Chains A and B, each alone.
Chain A
Amino acid sequence: MSFGTLSLLAFGGGSAMLPEMARMCVAHGWATGDEFTLLYNLGQLAPGPNCMMVLTIGHKVAGAPGAIAVLVGFLLPPALLAYVLGRTYRRFRNSPNQEWFRSAMAPISVGLTLAGVHLMATAALHQVGALVIFALAMFGLTRYQRCHPFFLVALGGFLGMSLL
């Protein structure tokens, strides 16, 4: 399954590879464009990493073995890489070069995360109701730091159903 190669190309977050994934699925005749969009939205509804919808494509194409193949092909190669690199990385954790790399990487990570916030905000916050929910959640997060985020998510979902 070509999902393995795709996942290795997919640097940083699944959204970057969505167009490529859609193109590939249609080209192989695994799913039509509409089906792909539907499956993508379903993936958003489910908890966990939002790319779990790749499973459904595998399932659609080849049944349960297909889903397992996708799971292994899609998740395992990068996970193994992360595992090995994570260990190597920590083995040399006291070298001054690594200190340097770390201090250089930290602000980039924060900048990238903020860019992700911006991206999600432009997609999600163009209704007044959504802005209200965002403001409420920000307030809740700064005020009640110990509150489990799932509370906020559930509340947001409920408010969304009634407000939007």
Chain B
Amino acid sequence: MGEPMSNSLRNKQVSLRKVFTTFLILGATSIGGGMMAHIREAAVVREGWLTDEEFLECYGLCQTLPGLNTTNLSVLIGDRVAGGWGALLALIAVIAPGGGIVMGLATYFLHGPAPAWAFTGLKGVAAVSVALLFNAALKVGQKLFGNQVDLQIILITFLCAGVFHLSLPLTLMLMLPLSLWMKRPQVATC
């Protein structure tokens, strides 16, 4: 099973070129939000660099960090599989295609209105993105849904952030202590 590698900082040694191309493709193909789902597909399902637990661990860490979750996630995964250079290349690769395209689109569209099909097409993409993200959340949470305590924490977090629209720092400030308390190590009590 997922025995943690105690002394090594890395999971696996993957070539820098492989890391770069994987994240480049990710950067070029993940349209319409829900990018975390795309990264999971690539790193967990297709390449098998991480297990779902490790992915969730990285992703959880990214959520407590400032900045864009997806670029941070790329850095963490790149570092895990190929060290410091892997992290840097993953970051560059994941932003380069989108950055280039957005610049191109902007120079084009700032001179006139965007055509209607672009926006209806985008709505279709958005619907797929919801499905991708939902699917990723289900897969990643699979093992947690069966556990009463985990399920409660998931539900309360969902209520805080999704229904009551508390900001992320606020949700974390509320939920982290609560969750730590609910999951406190079971020491022999008196």
Which of B124, B133, B184 sits near A157, CB closer than 8 Å?
Answer: B124
Give the contact-size bracket for chain A: 35 or more
Q: Are A89 and B125 in contact (CB under 8 A)?
A: no
> A103-127: which residues lie under 8 A (CB-CB) from chain B?
103-121, 123-125, 127
Report the bound CA distance from A114 to B37 in whole Å. Answer: 12
Report the bound CA distance from A49 to B157 in whole Å. Answer: 24
Which of A12, A108, A123, A161 sits near B157, CB closer than 8 Å?
Answer: A108
Interface string of A152-164 (1 = CB under 8 A from B): 1101111111011
Say whether A1 faces chain B, with CB atoms less than 8 Å apart.
no
Given contacts A11-B172, A160-B123, A160-B127, 5 further A-B contacts (CB under 8 A): A7-B66, A46-B31, A47-B28, A78-B71, A85-B65
Residue contacts A-B, CB under 8 angstroms, 27 given: A12-B69, A38-B114, A45-B122, A46-B101, A46-B102, A48-B30, A49-B70, A53-B106, A55-B103, A75-B67, A79-B67, A82-B61, A86-B79, A94-B4, A105-B61, A107-B149, A107-B179, A108-B172, A109-B59, A110-B56, A110-B140, A111-B157, A111-B161, A113-B140, A120-B129, A141-B135, A153-B31
Q: Which B positions have Cβ atoms within 8 angstroms of A? A: 4, 6, 9, 26-38, 41, 45, 53, 56-72, 75-76, 79-80, 84, 87, 91, 94-95, 97-99, 101-103, 105-106, 109-110, 114, 117-137, 140-141, 144, 149-151, 153-158, 160-163, 167-169, 171-172, 175-176, 179-180, 182-185
